[in-house]
A and B are shown apart, each in its own frame.
Chain A
Amino acid sequence: MRQSDGAGVTFRRAWWVWLLCSLLLLPATARADNRSCLSCHEGMEGMFATRAGEHLDLHVDGDQFAASVHGDLDCTTCHLRFADDPPDPPDADIDEEILTLSKQIARKSPVDPIAQAACIQCHEEVYETFRASVHGANIFAKQEVDGPLCVDCHGSPHRITPRGAPPPGGLPPSSVVYENVVTTCGRCHEQKRVSLKYGFSTEIIARYNESFHGKKYHLGGQNLPVCTTCHGAHDVRSQHDPAARVYDANRVVLCGQCHAGANERFVAAITHKPLGKDNPVPYYAEKGLILLTFSVITACVLHVLLDLYALIRTALQARRRTEQR
Chain B
Amino acid sequence: MSPDNVDQTVELAPEGEVERINLTFRIQHIIMLTSFLLLFFTGWALKFHEVEGSHRWIQLWGGPKVAGIVHRTAGITMLIDSLFHLCYLGYRASRGKLRWDLIPDWQDIRDLCQNFRYFLGLSPDKPRFRRFSYLQKFDYWAVFWGIFIIGISGLALTLPTKAALLFPAWTSNWIWELIYIMHSDEALLAIVFILFWHFYNEHLRPDVFPMNWIWLTGKMSVEELQERHPREFERLFPGAKATAAATVAGPVVAAAEAEGIAAPDAAPETTAPEGDASDR
On A, residues with C-beta under 8 Å from B are 209, 212, 214-216, 218-222, 259-266, 268-269, 275, 279-282, 285-286, 289-290, 292-293, 296-297, 300-301, 303-304, 306-307, 309-311, 313
Contacts and interface: CB of A to CB of B under 8 A. Distances in A.
Which one of A222, A259, A303, A313 has the highest number of Cβ atoms from chain B below 10 Å of its Cβ? A303
A279 B178 CA distance: 10
B118 interface: yes
B189 A292 contact: yes
Contact of A265 (B59, B121, B164): B164
Contacts of B118: 310
Given A265-B164, A289-B186, A301-B196, A279 B177 contact: yes
- Mostly helix, strand, loop or mixed at chain A's interface? helix
Contacts of A289: 181-182, 185-186, 189
Interface string B134-177: 01000000100000000000000100111011010101111111
Contacts of B135: 303
B119 A259 contact: no
Contact of A261 (B120, B162, B181, B206): B162
A260 B193 CA distance: 38
Contacts of A264: 169, 172
Given A293-B188, A296-B189, 5 more contacts: A218-B50, A218-B55, A264-B169, A285-B182, A293-B192
B197 interface: yes
B63 interface: yes
A222 B13 CA distance: 64
Contact of B68 (A216, A279, A293): A216
Q: Which 5 pairs of residues, A with B, have the shortest CB-CB distance? A: A282-B177, A266-B164, A269-B176, A306-B119, A268-B172
A268 B186 contact: no
B185 A282 contact: no
Contact of A297 (B46, B121, B192, B206): B192
B99 interface: no
Given A293-B185, A293-B192, A306-B119, A263 B165 contact: yes
Given A260-B161, A263-B165, A309-B119, A221 B185 contact: no
B94 to A, nearest CB: 34
B49 interface: yes
A102 B246 CA distance: 107
A313 B161 contact: no
A263 B160 CA distance: 10
Interface in B32-69: 45-46, 49-50, 54-55, 58-59, 63-65, 67-68
Contacts of A220: 55, 58-59, 63-64
B164 A285 contact: no
Interface of B: 45-46, 49-50, 54-55, 58-59, 63-65, 67-68, 116, 118-121, 135, 142, 157, 160-162, 164-165, 167, 169, 171-178, 181-182, 185-186, 188-189, 192-193, 196-197, 200, 205-206
A304 B68 CA distance: 34
21 contacts: A215-B49, A220-B55, A220-B63, A220-B64, A222-B63, A261-B161, A262-B161, A265-B169, A265-B175, A268-B173, A280-B174, A281-B174, A281-B177, A281-B178, A289-B186, A289-B189, A293-B188, A300-B197, A304-B200, A307-B119, A309-B119
Contacts of A221: 63-65
A256 to B, nearest CB: 9
Contacts of A262: 161, 164
A219 B68 CA distance: 11
A170 B167 CA distance: 53
Contacts of B46: 212, 215-216, 219
A290 B188 CA distance: 10
A218 B53 CA distance: 12
A260 B160 CA distance: 10
Which one of A260, A285, A301 has the highest number of Cβ atoms from chain B below 10 Å of its Cβ? A285
Nearest to B185: A289
Contacts of B68: 216
Contacts of A212: 46, 157
Contacts of A297: 189, 192-193, 196
Contact of A219 (B45, B161, B205, B206): B45
A209 B50 contact: yes
A160 B217 CA distance: 66
Nearest to A311: B206
Nearest to B206: A311
B130 to A, nearest CB: 19
Contacts of A215: 46, 49, 64
Contacts of A311: 205-206
A268 B103 CA distance: 40
Nearest to B162: A261
B154 to A, nearest CB: 12
Which one of B68, B176, B193 has the highest number of Cβ atoms from chain A below 10 Å of its Cβ? B176
A304 B49 contact: no
Contacts of A280: 174
Which one of A220, A261, A275 has the highest number of Cβ atoms from chain B below 10 Å of its Cβ? A220
B64 A219 contact: yes
Given A209-B50, A221-B63, A260-B161, A279 B181 contact: no
A216 B169 contact: no
Contacts of A209: 49-50
